Each structure stands twice: as structure tokens, then as C-alpha cells.
């Protein structure tokens, strides 16, 4: 019976070892499955948070862009109004010059008398003690056109400076 008991013990040991190994294997697989599940959930949360951060960043950038577009549109509107006001003013000035409603004049250099003193001028034509001469309407119109170009250039420069300030901020 001793041989049967030894075989029984060996069989019991092999079955016990196999059952123990199988149980340990299943237990480790379950633990590893839980770890993988927790890791996958953590990774999923990180991806969702990253996606939300990107969406928030995009929304903030779109809001900044919309605000900049509004400021630039307002700046363009102001520029257009300034240009049209300047053109209207120049047109009125040209019309007044053309109809002789307005005359441009310049200060004349006083001719010197023989004694080095300025010659006396007519009292009706004095402005700050100097004589004045009227300009030809065509010359006055050219001067107004030059000032109109200068005004438009200054307005455009002002608009460019405002644009650069907006972009820089």
C-alpha cells in the first residue's frame, strides 16, 4: 500500500500544484486586467482633458480674433469717415474758390525804401503789418489739391499706425 499511498500523494501534490498554479494564474490575470482597466481610464481622462484644453484654447483664440476684427472694422469705419469728411471739406473749399466766394492770399515781402525801412502800405491791406496779395484761383486750386493729398496721406498714416497698434496688442 505504500506504493499506492506514494502515488496518491504524488497525484495529490501534482493536482494541488496544478490547481494552485491555475488559481494564481487567474488571480494575477484578474489583477492585471484591473490595472489595465485603471490605466485605460486614466489615459482616457487625460485625452478628454487635453481635448477640452484645446477646445478652450481655440475658443479663446477665436474670441481674440473676433475682438481684433471688430476693432479693425471700427478703425476702418473711422478711417473711411475721416477720409470722406476731408474730401467733403476739400470739395467745399474748391467750390468756394471756383465761385470766388473765397480767395486765398499770401503775405508779400515788404519792399524796402531807400532808407532801409519798409515802404508804407495801405492800411486796408495790412495783416500783422505786412501786405497781402491774392492768388490766382487756378493756383489756389492746385494748392488745395496738394493739401488734399497731404490730408489723405496723414489720415492713411494714422490708420496704419492704429492698425499696427492693434496687431501689436
CB atoms within 10 A of CB 131: 19
Is 147 among the domain residues?
yes
pTM of the model: 0.51
Per-residue model confidence (pLDDT) at position 126: 47
- pLDDT top residue among 16 and 165: 16
Mean pLDDT of the chain, nearest integer: 84
Is 156 among the domain residues?
yes
Is 88 among the domain residues?
no
Is 46 among the domain residues?
no
Per-residue model confidence (pLDDT) at position 62: 98
What total number of domains does the chain contain?
1
Is 141 among the domain residues?
yes
- With CA atoms as reference, report the closest residue to 145 among 107, 97, 103, 105: 97
pLDDT digits (tens, 9 = 90+) for 48-84: 999 999 999 999 999 999 998 998 899 889 989 988 9
Q: Say which residues have a Cβ less than 8 Å from residue 148's Cβ, sequence separation at least 6.
A: 86, 87, 90
Is 148 among the domain residues?
yes
Per-residue model confidence (pLDDT) at position 21: 94
Overall residue count recorded for the chain in this entry: 169
Cα angle 36, 37, 40; round to 5:
85
Q: Which SS3 state, helix, strand or coil, does residue 122 take?
A: coil
Is 105 among the domain residues?
no
| Structural domain harbouring 149 | 133-168
pLDDT digits (tens, 9 = 90+) for 20-48: 999 999 999 999 999 999 999 999 999 99
Amino acid at each position: 500500500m505504500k506504493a499506492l499511498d506514494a502515488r496518491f500523494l504524488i497525484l495529490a501534490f501534482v493536482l494541488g500544484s496544478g490547481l494552485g498554479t491555475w488559481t494564481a494564474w487567474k488571480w494575477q490575470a484578474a489583477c492585471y486586467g484591473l490595472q489595465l482597466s485603471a490605466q485605460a481610464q486614466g489615459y482616457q481622462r487625460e485625452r478628454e482633458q487635453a481635448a477640452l484644453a484645446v477646445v478652450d484654447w481655440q475658443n479663446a483664440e477665436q474670441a481674440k480674433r473676433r475682438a481684433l476684427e471688430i476693432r479693425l472694422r471700427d478703425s476702418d469705419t473711422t478711417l473711411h469717415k475721416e477720409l470722406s469728411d476731408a474730401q467733403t471739406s476739400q470739395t467745399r473749399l474748391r467750390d468756394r474758390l471756383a465761385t470766388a466766394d473765397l480767395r486765398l492770399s499770401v503775405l508779400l515781402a515788404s519792399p524796402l525804401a531807400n532808407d532801409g525801412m519798409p515802404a508804407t502800405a495801405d492800411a486796408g491791406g495790412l495783416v500783422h503789418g505786412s501786405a497781402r496779395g491774392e492768388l490766382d484761383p487756378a493756383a489756389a486750386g492746385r494748392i488745395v489739391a496738394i493739401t488734399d493729398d497731404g490730408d489723405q496721406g496723414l489720415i492713411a498714416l494714422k490708420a496704419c499706425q492704429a492698425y499696427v497698434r492693434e496687431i501689436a496688442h
